[in-house]
Homo-oligomer: A and B are copies of this chain.
Amino acid sequence: MKINVFFTPLSVDELFFPGKTTVVIDVLRASSTIVSALQNGAREVVPVSSVEFAVKVSGGMFGGQTLLGGERNTKKIEGFALGNSPLEYTKEIVDGKTIVLYTTNGTRAVVKAKFSENLFVCSFLNLSAVASHLVNLNNNVEILCSGKANNFSMEDTICAGKLVAELQKLNENIEITDSARASLALNKSFGKSIVKMLSESEHGKVLIENNFEEDIKFCGKLNSSDIIPFYTSNVIKVMPISNSIINPDK
């Protein structure tokens, strides 16, 4: 089992992903929001890579049970029902609904990795659940950090490092690339207090300036959810948890 980390989706081409097992991370906030929405009963999340496509999708294929959510540079998009704060995605609002989600970095990363054989969404909230599932699958893993406008994101990399650490705890025979090794070391340096790290990160500071301090506290709750969001047929759904999943190919 070999683990690699991409610090930004720009480093890799769409056609890299066929056959791969991929984990997309966008801690602040898309992957935390996706976990919350599904945890609170959303039927599915449709990640889209443009606002125009979000509007088009929401108008058509999913009838009246659709909510448009997302942000562009931290701010809710005009005409959208929801922003990108996981705290907005409450049971009252999302239960039974299809969420069409557009965000600056996270949903575009998911769409880029759409050809993956297995595609999961990870945040601090569901890190341990994702790790257990990956160890059961026993495939090589590509961890795709959504990054920040094509650049390094501290919080995504620390989350990737914590996921690698968790995988190493569960499986002794894990091989790691240099980027995975760097993520592990960065988790050791900065990952002890997740909320502190998030608050001190560039993206965290922008969120605090925009009054999203509660989001940071929420996104830092390690392993508060068992939800494993997985991508299939263009939507993200909850993976039914089973301890007996064996990949027949390995």
Contacts and interface: CB of A to CB of B under 8 A. Distances in A.
A201 B186 contact: no
5 contacts: A8-B8, A8-B11, A11-B152, A152-B178, A186-B186
B185 A7 contact: no
Q: Is the interface of A mostly helix, strand, loop or mixed?
A: helix
Given A189-B185, A189-B189, A178 B150 contact: no
A5 to B, nearest CB: 8
A152 to B, nearest CB: 4
A78 to B, nearest CB: 28
Interface of A: 5-8, 10-12, 150-154, 157, 177-179, 181-182, 185-186, 188-190, 201-202
In the complex this chain forms, how many copies of it are found? 2
Nearest to A148: B178
Contact of A178 (B154, B181, B189): B154
Contact of A151 (B6, B150, B153, B202): B6
A11 B150 contact: yes
A115 B8 CA distance: 24
Contacts of A157: 182
A154 B5 CA distance: 12
A189 to B, nearest CB: 4
A40 to B, nearest CB: 31
Contact of A182 (B12, B152, B177, B178): B152
A68 to B, nearest CB: 30
